[in-house]
């Protein structure tokens, strides 16, 4: 797990001061750390120490720097978590009961379309019906989607690796099991893809970044193993923005199927793009701060960011130990529920995962749901045509009473971003200290290489205090959420995306129309911790009424060609 680095250790404080005074110029590593250097470093962080205080500090400062050098002698793998584990569960929060099995509606009588290309946009329940009745085999379906990925993958720049051999082997096994009456459930025989930050034995895992291109991690991520157990068939590893930011990866920019001149957003770029274009029925993405919500919005798919600690991250690249979350991306709320049901729960490896129940009921009664909406995040709509306001009108027409939510908190929300930046810089410490960060394609002000370097200026004390302020925010949000089953908000309204990613609350993002330029828009359903079932139930009922999720990007629609 640990190995000696073949790099010359640097003194952390010397690096701080040299960076501050010289614009990250290379410092003389042999220079002795002196009082004047420490004085200037202190001023950088707002402290003005007296001469006597500085003299007293110097022995401890030098010991701290020796400790930093010792730590840098050991290289810690990205997969190794810190001893401290983030837990979003506050005292008094009750876990959902376990033992209830979700009820899925697999329709009878689904027939193969005359134009087999129409299978591209069949739902998971429709495909499951065809597979269960043996009107199509998993091998045929897998070959169909592999061909779609091969045909359009370059157009969308959405595929890193096709897992063809593994896929066909698993598809044939699924066919044999279904023929023998060993039906595993609605995902049995269904092809899917994963973001290429999940390890799969026998295949490279690039994390979307040049320094890791061709990297082989010879173990399979828990989420892939869970889907194997459900009988699903992995057919592709999909693009992500380098190290889980944006849609630019080492070999291109993933495209929005609705507008090929536009990126798909990220970082779950390929996961959203392939599902929207009918190249896959569903895919797995991850979110730290918008990486499911944003590409789902841009590409017009339904994405679930579950409660923090719902799905094991074993085998997934780490960006932030206290904020990373794994979730499904599909075409409807009910389909995300089917996938979520298969991947949730502890694996005995990821210590952050909570063993809580999940129960989804098709056509659940939502009439008694307490629903709020954050009016401050909805734009004025005098004409009544804004898609976000139309969602509220739809819900009222469904008989629901909506209550205005005051989404204001005392905690310094924006300042808490330093938690993500500090953890991400730690996760990729070796990339920065070896200078390999220069290999990343994006070197802009807001790209990871620069943010990793800047994060060296976040003091450890402030990182800890930020997490204390985060705890206060968790208390505030949980107190507010306790009054509601679901809260509705524009997906990028105000600070709710940052807030709920910090507190670990679940969010289901669903398409609700288009911008004036024809790009999809979305609305978000936020729930209480571990109450994904409620946001799915409400969103599913709304989707059945409106049908926005059934829209298809014309270029990829087989019925138009």
In three-state secondary structure terms, 371 is strand
How far CA 547 is from CA of 107, 237, 503, 525, in Å, comes to: 18, 29, 31, 17
- Within 10 Å of residue 178's Cβ, how many Cβ atoms? 20
For the chain, the first-to-last Cα distance in angstroms comes to 53
Say what angle helices 387-397 and 532-546 make with each other, to 10 degrees.
100
Dump strand ranges (E) for 19-133.
Answer: 74-76
Helix, strand, or coil (residue 497): helix
User: What string of DSSP letters covers 399-468?
Assistant: T--EEE-----SS-TGGGHHHHHHHHHHHTHHHHHTTGGGGSS--STTSHHHHHHHGGGS-HHHHHHHHH
Longest dimension (CA), the chain: 86
Q: Which residues are paired to 249 by β-bridges?
A: 252
- Chain centre distance of CA 78: 17
The DSSP letter of residue 200 is B
* DSSP string covering 202-250: TBB--TTSGGGTT-B--S--HHHHHHHHTT-EEEEEE--STTSSSSEET
CA distances from 12 to 65, 68, 222, 281 (A): 6, 7, 36, 48
Q: Mind spelling out the 3-state secondary structure of 271-292?
A: HHHHHHCCCCCCEEEEECCCCC
Say how far residue 181 (Cα) sits from the centre of its chain.
36
Q: Which tokens in the block code for residue 253? A: 């920019």
List the catalytic residues: 195, 267, 291
Q: Which residues of 42-59 are buried (b: 16+ CB within 10 A; e: fewer)?
A: beeeeeeeeeeebeebee
Let me know how long the chain is.
561
Q: CA angle 499-457-314, nearest 5°? A: 55
């Amino acid at each position: 797990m640990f190995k000696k680095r073949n790099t010359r250790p640097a003194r952390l404080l010397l690096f701080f001061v040299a960076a501050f005074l010289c614009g990250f110029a290379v410092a003389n590593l042999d220079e002795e750390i002196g009082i004047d250097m420490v004085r200037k470093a202190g001023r950088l962080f707002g402290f003005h120490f007296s001469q006597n205080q500085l003299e007293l500090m110097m022995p401890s400062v030098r010991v701290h720097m020796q400790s930093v050098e010792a730590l840098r002698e050991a290289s810690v793998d990205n997969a190794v978590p810190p001893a401290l584990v983030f837990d979003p569960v506050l005292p008094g929060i009750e876990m959902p009961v376990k033992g209830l099995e979700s009820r899925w509606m697999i329709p009878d009588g689904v027939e193969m379309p005359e134009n087999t290309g129409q299978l591209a946009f069949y739902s998971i329940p429709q495909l499951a019906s065809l597979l269960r009745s043996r009107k199509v085999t998993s091998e045929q379906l897998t070959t169909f989607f592999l061909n779609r990925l091969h045909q359009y993958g370059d157009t969308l720049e959405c595929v890193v690796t096709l897992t063809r051999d593994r896929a066909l082997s698993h598809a044939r096994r699924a066919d044999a099991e279904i023929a023998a009456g060993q039906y595993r459930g609605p995902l049995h025989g269904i092809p899917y893809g994963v973001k290429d930050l999940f390890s799969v034995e026998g295949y490279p895992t690039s994390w979307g970044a040049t320094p890791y291109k061709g990297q082989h991690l010879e173990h399979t991520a828990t989420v892939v193993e869970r889907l194997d157990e459900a009988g699903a068939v992995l057919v592709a590893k999909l693009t992500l923005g380098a190290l889980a930011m944006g849609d630019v990866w080492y070999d291109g920019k993933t495209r929005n199927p609705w507008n090929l001149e536009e990126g798909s957003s990220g970082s779950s770029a390929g996961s959203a793009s392939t599902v929207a274009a009918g190249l896959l029925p569903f895919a797995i993405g991850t979110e730290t701060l918008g990486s499911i919500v944003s590409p789902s919005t841009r590409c017009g798919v339904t994405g679930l960011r579950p409660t923090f600690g719902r799905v094991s991250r074993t085998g997934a690249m780490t960006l932030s130990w206290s904020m990373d979350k794994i979730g499904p991306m599909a075409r409807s709320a009910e389909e995300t529920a089917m996938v979520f049901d298969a991947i949730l729960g502890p694996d005995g490896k990821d210590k952050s995962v909570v063993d809580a129940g999940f129960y989804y009921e098709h056509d659940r009664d939502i009439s008694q749901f307490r629903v709020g909406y954050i009016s401050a995040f909805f734009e004025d709509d005098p004409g009544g045509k804004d898609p976000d306001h139309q969602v509220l009108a739809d819900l009222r027409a469904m008989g629901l009473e909506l209550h205005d939510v005051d989404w204001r908190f005392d905690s310094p929300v924006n300042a808490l971003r330093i938690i993500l930046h500090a953890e991400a810089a730690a996760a990729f410490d070796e990339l920065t200290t070896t200078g390999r960060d220069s290999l990343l394609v994006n070197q802009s002000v807001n790209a990871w290489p620069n943010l990793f370097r800047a994060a060296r200026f976040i003091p450890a004390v402030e990182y800890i205090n930020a997490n204390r302020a985060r705890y206060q925010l968790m208390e505030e949000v949980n107190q507010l959420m306790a009054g509601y089953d679901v809260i509705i908000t524009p997906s990028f309204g105000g600070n709710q995306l940052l807030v709920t990613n910090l507190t670990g609350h679940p969010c289901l993002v669903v398409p609700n129309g288009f911008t004036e330029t024809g790009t999809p828009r979305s609305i978000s359903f936020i729930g209480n911790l571990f109450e994904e079932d409620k946001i799915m139930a409400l969103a599913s009922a709304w989707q059945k009424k409106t049908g926005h999720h059934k829209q298809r990007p014309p270029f990829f629609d087989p019925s138009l060609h």
